[in-house]
Amino acid sequence: MRTLIRGGTVVTATETSKADVVIQDERVAAIGVDMSVEADRVIDASDRYVMPGGVDVHTHMELPFGGSFCSDDFETGTRAAAFGGTTTIVDFAVQDYGEGLRQGLDRWFEKAQNACTDYGFHVIVREVNDQVLKEMDELVGEGVTSFKLFMAYPGVFMLDDASIFRAMRQAGGSGALIMMHAENGGPIDVLVRQFLEEGKTEPVNHGLTRPSVMEGEAVHRVFKLAELADTPAYIVHLSSRDALNALREARDRGMPAFAETCPQYLYLSQDDMARPGFEGAKFVCSPPLRTPDHQEELWSGLRGGDLQVVSTDHAPFNYEGQKDLGRGDFSKIPNGLPSVEDRFTLLYGGVEKGQIGLNRFVELVATAPAKMFGLYPRKGTIAPGSDADVVVFDPKKERVLSAATHHMRVDYSCYEGRTVRGLPELVMQRGRVLVENGEFHGKPGQGRFLPRSRIPA
């Protein structure tokens, strides 16, 4: 089976070339000027960008939460991802207390049976002990090469610094990457209790009790621990100027210090959490949305290279039936936003506004996450031999984001009514069309597990 994508502008993290792309079976065979090859199918990409499929390294499909689950499972979530131009996700398997990492991972393999796109796994480590450290090495050997730790949520996910340090050294030894939720959870919980006692129960207090200074502190601590452990570290969902400055300080002293931010921190703010009534609950996630002045700083970090990745932290909960568990007590609002479908186009908005360049867009949305997490060269680019995960993107198409039209299984959109430019018109995975003209052509279960390589030194 051969496909020819003709007449488009091929965009990678480095190149912007008028060129045709030849796809042979599952892989990119060639990129060239006016390729005259026979093909089973010819796709006209005139006036379109031909880009690698997006790689979203931070999703939470079907994550359990207090008896309930994130509203997207792997089937609905990856389908929505595909509509949005993302063809690879890396989801988080969760160790339960008292069990090993493998048991948690096994549950997630089970959940992912119906995935429509390719996927990999990180593992969230809730307990560190000798057995867990040994398992970390084993899993790395099987292609699960990154582990997420928490400095927040005492009693639920939070690890102490000794455990974090032990895990870091283990990861350093095996070439795994430590990912960190960097908020200092202890003082935050003190503030939460105080606010509730004072009757401050509305959603915006979620943000007011998680001040950015505690994110900055945590990021600083991560890189001091990593310095001592002599290992890289990666901050997930970096949300604030304080955190970015701590990251920069580490990078300036030569540390292999990395971080992602998410579209919500680039476009939404604490003002959204303060919307009247309970609507702010739709915007409750952790770290919380910050005041609007943090946004330009994050764009600056993306532009200058201090932030390497944009992912989503996709963790959807329905407004009706889930978010409303927190009416009268903001601390009971499920933390998380739906975003997996919107990332590609929202980030492209930065190109439209001149905040980032076109190649940098591709790097952030696909190439860098693929390289950072051991998926390259299979994923994250359009190059001979790479998986033919391709987005034909119409940069001029205007549309309005809305829960009425999105494909995520959640009853609201954080971007309801926002007009965006750019549409992933045709989305292909390993040479097969997943989405075309707004129709889904994929099948549940066709997504493959992606064993990932060790982190490059």
Site of interaction with a second copy (CB under 8 A): 10, 12-19, 22, 24, 27-35, 154, 160-166, 184, 186-187, 189-190, 211, 213-214, 216-217, 220-221, 224-225, 227-228, 245, 248, 251-252, 254, 297, 300, 303-306, 354, 357, 363, 367, 377, 381, 383-386, 456-457
CA pair distance 151, 406, nearest whole angstrom: 33
Comparison of 301 and 442: residue with beta carbon closer to a second copy? 301
Comparison of 66 and 304: residue with beta carbon closer to a second copy? 304
Cβ–Cβ under 8 Å, residues 423 and 397: yes
Comparison of 317 and 376: residue with beta carbon closer to a second copy? 376
Query: Whose structure tokens read 């050294």?
Result: 169
Comparison of 35 and 325: residue with beta carbon closer to a second copy? 35
Smallest distance, a second copy to C-beta of residue 306, A: 8
In degrees, rounded to 5, the angle at the alpha carbon of residue 252 between the alpha carbons of residues 363 and 371 is 25
Comparison of 145 and 322: residue with beta carbon closer to a second copy? 145
Comparison of 159 and 179: residue with beta carbon closer to a second copy? 159
Smallest distance, a second copy to C-beta of residue 34, A: 8
Smallest distance, a second copy to C-beta of residue 355, A: 11
Smallest distance, a second copy to C-beta of residue 312, A: 23
Smallest distance, a second copy to C-beta of residue 435, A: 25
Task: Burial-class residue 120 by CB neighbours within 10 Å (0-12, 13-18, 19+).
Answer: buried
Smallest distance, a second copy to C-beta of residue 391, A: 17
Q: What is the DSSP letter of 324?
A: G
Cβ–Cβ under 8 Å, residues 238 and 289: no
Comparison of 127 and 297: residue with beta carbon closer to a second copy? 297
If phi over 0 gives left and psi between -120 and 50 gives alpha, with beta otherwise, what is residue 146? beta
Q: At what angle do helices 101-111 and 130-141 cross, to 10 degrees?
A: 40
What residues have CB less than 8 Å from 243, skipping those under 6 apart?
A: 182, 212, 215, 216, 218, 219, 235, 259, 287
* Count of C-beta atoms within a 10 Å radius of residue 54: 34
Task: Report the Cα–Cα distance between both ends of the chain, in Å, rounded.
Answer: 38
